[in-house]
Amino acid sequence: MQEELAVIAKNTITGAAGGVTVGQADLRKRPRIKESLIQGFLFLCGALSILTTVGIVYELSKESLSFFTRQLWEDTNKALMVDIDAQMRSFKVSEGGAAIQVGDIIRIHDEVMQIIVIDGSTITVERGLQGTEILPHSAGVDLFASNRVSLIEFFTGIKWNPQIGQFGIWPLVTATLMTSIIAMTVALPLGLGVAVYLSEYASDRARGILKPILEILAGIPTVVYGYFALTFMTPLLRQIFGIETVDIYNTASAGIVIGILILPLVSSMSEDALSAVPRSLREAAYGLGATRLETAVRVVVPAALSGITAAFVVSISRAIGETMVVAIAAGAGPNFTFNPFKSAETMTGHIVRISGGDISYDSIDYNSIFAIGLALFFITLTLNIISQRVVRHFREVYE
Amino acid sequence: MAEQREGVETGKDFKHNLPGRHRAARVWQVAFQASTMIGIIALTALLYSIVNQSFGLVAIQNQVDPKALAVDGVPLEKLSKEQLVQILQENVSEGLFRRLESDQPFAERTREDVYGLVMERVVEPQVVRTWSLYDSLFKRAVILAEAPEAYPGAEIRFVSWIDPEFVTTPQSSDPEKAGVRTAILGSLWMIAITVLFAFPLGVGAAIYLEEYARDNFVNRLIRTNINNLAGVPSIIYGMLGLAILVRALEPLTSGKLLGVADPTTANGRTILSAGLTLGLLILPLIIINAQEAIRAVPSSLRQASYGLGATQWQTIWHHVLPNALPGILTGTILSISRAIGETAPLVVVGASTFITVDPAGPFSKFTTLPIQIYQWTSRPQDEFRNIAAAAIIVLLFMLLTLNASAVLLRNRYSRRLT
Q: What pLDDT score does A186 carry?
A: 94
**Distance between CA B295 and CA B289 in Å, rounded?**
10
- What is the rounded average pLDDT of the residues B40-52? 92
Question: pLDDT band at residue B359, thresholds of 50, 70 and 90?
Answer: confident
Which among B233, B344, B370 has the least Cβ separation from residue A380?
B233
Q: Considering only CB atoms, which chain B residues are within 8 Å of A226?
A: 374, 377
Q: Considering only CB atoms, which chain B residues are within 8 Å of A321?
A: 232-236
Q: pTM of the entire structure?
A: 0.84
Q: Which of B117-131, B320-334, B401-415 has the highest mean pLDDT?
A: B320-334
CB B336 within 8 Å of CB B312: no
**Domains of chain A with bracketed CATH:** 73-147 (2.40.33), 164-397 (1.10.3720.10)
Q: Name the B residues in 320-349 with CB < 8 Å from any A CB.
A: 337, 340-344, 347-348
Q: What pLDDT score does A348 carry?
A: 93
Which among A214, A219, A223 has the least Cβ separation from residue B39?
A214
CB B286 within 8 Å of CB B332: yes
Any chain A CB within 8 A of the CB of B141? no
More confident residue, A143 or A313: A313
Smallest CA–CA separation between A75 and chain B, in Å? 31
CB A221 within 8 Å of CB B341: yes
Q: Considering only CB atoms, which chain A residues are within 8 Å of B395?
A: 221, 224
How distant is the alpha carbon of residue A377 from its chain centre?
Answer: 4
A106-143: buried (b, 16+ CB within 10 Å) or exposed (e) per residue?
bbbeebbbebeebeeeebebebebeeeeeeebeeeebb
**Distance between CA A167 and CA A122 in Å, rounded?**
32
Q: What pLDDT score does B11 carry?
A: 59
Q: A287: which residues sit within 8 A by CB, 6+ positions away?
A: none
Verify whether the Cβ–Cβ distance A376 to B343 is below 8 Å: no
**Distance between CA B294 and CA B276 in Å, rounded?**
25
For residue B222, give the nearest of B233, B210, B234 by alpha carbon. Answer: B210
Any chain A CB within 8 A of the CB of B34? yes
Task: Write the pLDDT tens digit of every residue in B214-272.
Answer: 888 988 899 889 988 988 999 999 999 999 998 888 888 887 777 776 666 657 888 99
Classified as helix, coil or strand, A76 is strand
Smallest CA–CA separation between B171 and chain A, in Å? 18
Q: B320: which residues sit within 8 A by CB, 6+ positions away?
A: B207, B211, B294, B297, B301, B302
Verify whether the Cβ–Cβ distance B235 to A41 is below 8 Å: no
Q: Considering only CB atoms, which chain B residues are within 8 Å of A355?
A: 238-239, 242, 347-348, 350
Verify whether the Cβ–Cβ distance A222 to B341 is below 8 Å: yes
Backbone angles phi, psi at B71, to 5 degrees: -105, 125
- Compute CA distances A319 → A41, A216, A330, whole Å: 37, 19, 14
Verify whether the Cβ–Cβ distance A59 to B231 is below 8 Å: no
B312-332: buried (b, 16+ CB within 10 Å) or exposed (e) per residue?
bbebbeebbbebbbbbbbbbb
Task: Write the pLDDT tens digit of every residue in A61-96.
Answer: 998 888 888 777 777 778 888 888 888 888 888 877
- Our CA dihedral for B239, B244, B247, B248, rounded to 10 degrees, sits at 160
Any chain A CB within 8 A of the CB of B227? yes
User: In this structure, what DSSP letter does residue A380 have?
Assistant: H
For residue A380, give the nearest of B236, B415, B110 by alpha carbon. Answer: B236
CB B201 within 8 Å of CB B282: no
Smallest CA–CA separation between A253 and chain B, in Å? 13
For residue A35, give the nearest of B317, B198, B297, B296 by alpha carbon. Answer: B317
Give the ipTM: 0.85
For residue A222, give the nearest of B337, B277, B353 by alpha carbon. Answer: B337
Q: Name the B residues in 81-100 with CB < 8 Å from any A CB.
A: none
In chain A, which residue's Cα lies nearest the Cα of B40? A213
**Distance between CA B248 and CA B245 in Å, rounded?**
6
- What is the rounded average pLDDT of the residues A142-151? 78
Q: What pLDDT score does B418 carry?
A: 47
Q: What pLDDT score does A133 carry?
A: 81
Q: Considering only CB atoms, which chain A residues are within 8 Å of B373?
A: 223-224, 227
Q: Helix %, strand %, coil % for chain A, to 5?
A: 60, 10, 30
CATH superfamily placement of domain B181-417 = MetI-like (1.10.3720.10)
Q: Where are the domains of chain B?
A: 54-161, 181-417
Any chain A CB within 8 A of the CB of B188? no
H or E element at residue B48: helix B12-54
Classified as helix, coil or strand, B366 is coil
Q: Work out the mean pLDDT of chain A and round it to a whole number.
A: 85
For residue B232, give the nearest of A315, A380, A266, A177 by alpha carbon. Answer: A380
Q: Considering only CB atoms, which chain A residues are within 8 Å of B278?
A: none
Residue A388: how many CB atoms within 10 A of its CB?
17
Task: Write the pLDDT tens digit of every residue in B16-35.
Answer: 688 888 888 899 999 999 99
- Compute CA distances A41 → B90, B278, B286, whole Å: 71, 22, 17
